[in-house]
Structure 1
Amino acid sequence: MESGLGGLLRPVRGALVMAGALQVVSAVAGLVPFLAVAEIGRRLLAGETSELWTVAWWAVGGLLVRLVTMMASTGITHFADARLQDHVRREIARHLGTVPLGWFDARSSGEVKRAAQDDVGALHHLVGHAITDLVAAVVTPVAALVYLFTLDWRLSLLVLGVLPLFLSAYAVMMRGYPEKMAAHTAALGRINSAVVEFVQGIAVVKTFGQARRAHRRFLRATDDFADFFGSWAGSMIRVEAVASALISPAVMVLVVLGGGTWFVAQGWLAPVDVLPFVLLGVGLTGPVLSLGYGANSLRQARDAANRIGTVLAVPPLPITRDQEPQGNHVRFEGVAFSYDGRTEVLSGIDCVLEPGTVTALVGASGSGKSTLAGLVPRFFDATAGSVTIGGADVRSIDPDDLYRRVGFVFQDVRLLRATIRENIALGRPEATDGDVIAVARAAQIHDRITELPDGYDTVVGEGAHLSGGESQRVSIARALLADTPILVLDEATAFADPESEAAIQDALSTLVAGRTLLVIAHRLHTIAGADQILVLDQGRIVERGTHDDLLAAGGRYAAMVATTMEAAR
Structure 2
Amino acid sequence: MKTPHGKGGRGEKPKDFKNTMRQLISYCKVYLPAIIIALILAMAGAVFNIIGPDLLSEITDIITEGMMASIDLDAVVNVATLLAFLYGLGFLFNYIQGFIMATVTQRVSKNLRSDLSTKINRLPLKYFDSTSTGDVLSRVTNDVDMIGQTMNQSLSTLVSAITMFLGSLIMMFYTNWIMAIAAIVSTIVGFGLMTSIISKSQKYFAQQQKELGKLNGHIEEIYSGHNVVKVYNGEKEARETFHEINTRLYTSAWKSQFMSGLMMPLMMFVGNFGFVVVCIVGAVLAVNNMITFGVIVAFMLYVRLFTQPLTQLAQAATNLQSTAAASERVFEFLAEEELANESDKREKLEEAIGDVEFKNVRFGYSQDKMVINNFSATAKAGEKVAIVGPTGAGKTTLVNLLMRFYEVNGGEILIDGVPINNLTRENIHELLSMVLQDTWLFEGTIRENIVYSRNGVSDEEVVAACKSVGLHHFIKTLPMGYDTILDDKANLSAGQKQLITIARAMVDNKPLLILDEATSSVDTRTEVLIQQAMDKLTVGKTSFVIAHRLSTIKNADLILVMKDGDIIESGNHEELLSKNGFYAELYNSQFEEAS
TM-score, normalising length: structure 1: 0.88
Matched, 1:501 2:523: no
Question: For residues 432 and 404 of structure 1, what CA distance do their matches in structure 2 show?
Answer: 20
Question: For residues 3 and 369 of structure 1, what CA distance do their matches in structure 2 show?
Answer: 46
Question: For residues 43 and 69 of structure 1, what CA distance do their matches in structure 2 show?
Answer: 30
Question: For residues 534 and 2 of structure 1, what CA distance do their matches in structure 2 show?
Answer: 55
Question: For residues 200 and 506 of structure 1, what CA distance do their matches in structure 2 show?
Answer: 36
Question: For residues 460 and 427 of structure 1, what CA distance do their matches in structure 2 show?
Answer: 17
The counterpart of 2:453, out of the listed 399, 421, 427, is 427
Identical-pair percentage? 26
Matched, 1:43 2:51: no
Bigger drift between 204-213 and 162-171 goes to 162-171
Question: For residues 191 and 23 of structure 2, what CA distance do their matches in structure 1 show?
Answer: 27
Measure how far apart 1:126 and its partner are: 1.1
Counterpart for residue 553 of structure 1? 579
- Gap runs ≥5 in structure 1: none
- Residues 490-569 of structure 1 aligned to structure 2 (within 5 Å): 490-569=516-595
Counterpart for residue 22 of structure 1? 41
Give the conservation status (yes or no) of the 8 Å contact 2:126–2:365: no
- Residues 85-234 of structure 1 aligned to structure 2 (within 5 Å): 85-101=109-125, 103-104=127-128, 106-161=130-185, 188-216=212-240, 218-219=242-243, 222-223=246-247, 225-226=249-250, 233=256
Question: For residues 278 and 122 of structure 1, what CA distance do their matches in structure 2 show?
Answer: 36
Change (3 A) 1:262 1:334: farther
Measure how far apart 1:114 and its partner are: 1.9
Question: For residues 248 and 367 of structure 2, what CA distance do their matches in structure 1 show?
Answer: 39
Q: Which has the higher contact order (CA 8 A, sep 6+)?
A: 2
Q: Give the CA RMSD over aligned residues.
A: 3.4
Give the conservation status (yes or no) of the 8 Å contact 2:205–2:253: no
Change (3 A) 1:338 1:45: farther
Measure how far apart 1:164 and its partner are: 5.6
Question: For residues 339 and 11 of structure 1, what CA distance do their matches in structure 2 show?
Answer: 40
Question: For residues 484 and 3 of structure 1, what CA distance do their matches in structure 2 show?
Answer: 48
Bigger drift between 234-243 and 343-352 goes to 234-243
Change (3 A) 1:69 1:425: same
Bigger drift between 146-155 and 479-488 goes to 146-155
State the AA in 1 paired with 2:442: L
Bigger drift between 54-63 and 427-436 goes to 427-436
State the AA in 2 paired with 1:40: I
Matched, 1:439 2:458: no
- Residues 150-549 of structure 1 aligned to structure 2 (within 5 Å): 150-161=174-185, 188-216=212-240, 218-219=242-243, 222-223=246-247, 225-226=249-250, 233=256, 237=260, 244=267, 248-261=270-283, 269-270=291-292, 272-320=294-342, 321-325=345-349, 327-461=353-487, 464-549=490-575
Bigger drift between 210-219 and 78-87 goes to 210-219
Q: Deviation digits for residues 282-314 of structure 1, max 9, x if unmatched?
A: 222322212222223223322322232333233
Counterpart for residue 73 of structure 1? 97
What is the number of equivalent residue pairs in this alignment? 567
Question: For residues 470 and 193 of structure 1, what CA distance do their matches in structure 2 show?
Answer: 32
Question: For residues 130 and 44 of structure 1, what CA distance do their matches in structure 2 show?
Answer: 40
State the AA in 2 paired with 1:400: E
Q: Secondary structure at the match of 1:364?
A: coil
Give the conservation status (yes or no) of the 8 Å contact 2:375–2:567: yes
Change (3 A) 1:192 1:434: farther
Q: Deviation digits for residues 184-222 of structure 1, max 9, x if unmatched?
A: 776555444433333333344445544445555555555
Question: For residues 299 and 247 of structure 2, what CA distance do their matches in structure 1 show?
Answer: 50
Change (3 A) 1:342 1:251: farther
